Amino acid sequence: MSQSRTYQVRTYGCQMNVHDSERLSGLLEDAGYARAAEDTAADIVVFNTCAVRENADNRLYGNLGHLRPVKDANPGMQIAVGGCLAQKDRGEIVRRAPWVDVVFGTHNIGSLPTLLERARVQREAQVEIAEALEHFPSTLPSRRESAYAAWVSISVGCNNTCTFCIVPALRGKEKDRRPGDVLAEVRALVEEGVTEVTLLGQNVNAYGSEFGDRQAFSKLLRACGEIEGLERVRFTSPHPRDFTDDVIEAMAQTPNVMPQLHMPLQSGSSKVLKDMRRSYRQERFLGIVEKVRAAMPQAAITTDIIVGFPGETEEDFEQTLHVVRESRFAMAFTFQYSKRPGTPAATMDDQVPPEVVKERYQRLVALQDQISWEENQKLIGREVELMVSEGEGKKDGEHRRLSGRAPDNRLVHFAVGDSEEPRPGDMVTVEVTYAAPHHLVADSGIRNLRRTRAGDAWDARQGKPVQVSKPDVLLGMPKIGVPEEQPAPVGGCCDA
C-alpha cells in the first residue's frame, strides 16, 4: 500500500463515536495512511454513523450519494461505513449504495484496515459485523484530536431497556474495563501532556456492575484525584437510577473532579418515564439534583429531554416544565421524539401529532433559554479560571477574543487584549462581563495566565519548539484579601 494514501473520518452522534473515530484515525495511521489536508479529496472516506435520530439514514445515504461521482472520477478511492447505523443496517448499506467498499460494526472497529485492504485486493465490498466486542476501544491505537483533553472509555454497551433507544441493540450489553487499566491509560495520557479527561460510558455510573462492585465508579473518581498533573476530570452520561450518594461525595471531595453533572431527564412526567422504562420517577430525579446542589452549590447541571413521546399529554408536558423550573439546568439538550425502527416506542399507540410536538418543543426551549440566561447573568463580575480551548469560538479581530471552558464547562469567550496570547491547554483567569443563554464573555482582560504542560503539548503538535513552562506567569495585579466565594462556572452521548 502506498504511504501517500490519505484518509478522512466523518463523525456523527455521541461522544462514544468521537472517541471511536480517534481510534479509527489511529488505526489508519498505524496502517500507513495519512490524514487528508483540509479541502482536499481523501483516498479513503470513513463514515462513523449514529442511529439515534430519525433522519440518520437519510443523512448517511445523502452523503454517500454526493460521494458517488467523486469516486467514479477516482477509481482508487474507497468508502467505509461504520458505527451504530452500520451495525443496524448491515448489508442494506451496500444494497442501497453499492459503491461503498466496507461496512463494519460497533464491535469490530479494529478490523477496518484489514477490510479496506481486502476490498481493494478482491475488488468487492466487505461487510463484517461482529456480534460481540473484539477490542475495548481504548486498547486500540489513537490519533487524539486534542493535545490537552482526552476521552477515556470505562465501559461500553448498556443493560437498560429504554423503549425509545436502539443503542443497547447496537452496542450490546455493558462491558466494564478493570479500574487498573483505566487508571493506567489516564496516567499515560497525563505523561503526554493531557490535563483533562472525560470518563465515557453509555451508563457511566453503572460502572462495576460486571465485576460486582457497586461503588467502583466513586472509587475510580477518587483514584483519578490522586494522579499528579491531572487537573480536570469529567464524566458522561450517568443514569439517575444508578446515581448513588457515594458518587456525589466523591465529586464534592475530589478537587480535580469538576463541578459539572450531565444527567438525562428525558421527561418530567412519572407516567411517561414509566412508559419509557426509565426506572426512576420525577421525585427521584429532583432528589438527586437537591443532593448535588447541597454538596456542590457551584455545580452546573445539564440534561437531555425528549418532547412528544407517545402518549405524552399536555399535563405530562407541564410536569416536564415543572422539573425544568425546579432544577434550573445550566443547559438542556432538547429533542423532538422521532420513531426509531426496532424500538418498542415506534409501535406504541397515541403517537403525538407533529404539530403538537413542535409547539411543546418551542415552549420548552424558550423556558430553558430564559433559565440559562438568568443563571449565566449571576456570573457577571465573577472571576473564573478557564482552560483555553481550540476550535470552540471564532477569534474576534477587534477584541482578540479566544475561548475557554470554566470548571463547570460553561463556554467563555475572553479578550486577550495586549497580553501574551495563551495556547490551547493553558489556564487563564478572567472576569465575566456579559452573559448570553449559551455562553459568557470576559472582555476585562486576562488577570492571570498559567502556562501548562498541556500548552507545551499543543505547541509540540504544531511543530513549535517546546520550552518547559514555569508553574505560573502572573499578568496584572493580584487581588488582596480573602477570595470571594466562587459561583457556578458551568457545563455542557449517548444518553443513558
226-240 pLDDT tens trace: 999 999 999 998 999
- In one-letter notation, the amino acid at residue 221 is L
Asked if residue 239 and residue 213 are part of one domain, the reply reads yes
In a domain, 305, yes or no: yes
Q: Which residues does the annotation place in the binding site for [4Fe-4S] cluster?
A: 14, 50, 84, 158, 162, 165
Q: What DSSP designation does 378 have?
A: T
Q: Which of 106, 128, 150 is the endpoint of a domain? A: 128
> Sheet harboring 232-236: ordered strands across?
149-153, 196-200, 232-236
One domain, residues 270 and 320: yes
Cell numbers placing 114: 484489514
Tell whether 304 is covered by a domain: yes
**Domain's final residue, options 378, 396, 411:** 378
200 lies in the same domain as 332? yes
Question: 262: domain CATH number?
Answer: 3.80.30.20
Residue 355 domain-assigned (yes or no): yes
Same domain, 318 and 212: yes
Residue 487 CA to its chain's centroid (Å)? 24
pLDDT at 138: 66
Q: Could you tell me which residue, 449 or 339, shows the higher pLDDT?
A: 449
Indicate whether 207 pLDDT > 90: yes
Determine the pLDDT at residue 446: 94
Over 50: is that where the pLDDT of 50 sits?
A: yes
pLDDT at residue 89, as a whole number:
86
Parallel, antiparallel or unpaired: strands 149-153 and 383-388: unpaired
More confident call, 136 vs 448: 448
The predicted pLDDT at position 88 comes to 85
Is residue 483 pLDDT above 60, yes or no?
no
Pairing of strands 34-35, 6-11: parallel
Cell of 108: 469490530
Q: 216 with 247, same domain? A: yes
Phi, psi of 222 (to 5 degrees): -65, -40
State yes or no: pLDDT of 337 exceeds 60.
yes
- In the structure, what pLDDT confidence band is assigned to residue 57 with cuts at 50, 70 and 90? confident
Residue 145 burial (CB < 10 Å; 0-12/13-18/19+)?
middle
Q: State the cell numbers at 466.
A: 517546546
Give the number of residues written for the chain. 496
**Per-residue confidence (pLDDT) for residue 105, from 0 to 100:** 87
pLDDT confidence of residue 399 = 64
Please tell me the predicted confidence (pLDDT) of residue 322: 98
Provide the pLDDT for residue 137: 65
Average of per-residue pLDDT values in the chain: 88
What Cα–Cα distance (Å) separates residue 20 from each residue in 86, 215, 248, 374, 438? 14, 27, 29, 36, 28
Q: What is the CA radius of gyration of the chain?
A: 23
Note the pLDDT of residue 472.
Answer: 39
In which element (H, E) is residue 447 found? strand 446-450
Alpha helices (H) along 213-313: 216-224, 245-253, 270-276, 282-295
Q: Are strands 300-307 and 260-262 parallel, antiparallel or unpaired?
A: parallel
Residues 369, 342 within the same domain: yes
Which residue range is the domain that position 56 belongs to?
A: 6-128
SS3 346: helix
Domains in the chain, number: 3
- Does 482 map to a domain? no
Kindly state the percentage of the chain with pLDDT values over 90.
65
Residue ranges of the binding site? 14, 50, 84, 158, 162, 165
- 238 located within any domain: yes
Which region among 4-18, 319-333, 339-353, 462-476 has the lowest average model confidence (pLDDT)?
462-476
Q: pLDDT tens digits, residue range 420-478?
A: 899 999 999 999 999 999 999 999 899 999 999 999 999 998 887 766 554 433 333 23
Least confident of 184-198, 398-412, 435-449: 398-412
| Domain-located, residue 158 | yes
Q: Is there a single domain that holds both residue 148 and residue 242?
A: yes
* Residue 71 pLDDT > 70: yes
Asked whether residue 483 is domain-assigned, the answer is no
169 and 106 in a single domain? The answer is: no
> How far, in Å, CA of 337 to CA of 381, rounded?
39
* Strand spans (E) along 164-259: 175-176, 196-200, 232-236
Sheet with strand 401-405: strands edge to edge: 434-435, 440-442, 411-415, 401-405, 383-388, 427-431, 446-450, 473-474
Among 2-11, 75-84, 147-156, whose mean pLDDT is lowest?
Answer: 2-11
Asked if 429 and 447 sit in the same domain, the reply is: yes
- Residue 290: is its pLDDT beyond 60? yes
Rounded to whole angstroms, the maximal C-alpha distance in the chain is: 73
Amino acid identity for residue 227 in this structure: I
pLDDT given for residue 172 in this prediction? 79
409: domain CATH number?
A: 2.40.50
Regarding whether 79 and 53 lie in a shared domain, the answer is: yes
Per-residue pLDDT at 480 exceeds 70: no
* 374 shares its domain with 386: no
d(CA 241, CA 285): 9
Of 99, 128, 157, which marks where a domain is finished? 128
Same structural domain, 293 and 406: no
Question: Within a domain: residue 435?
Answer: yes
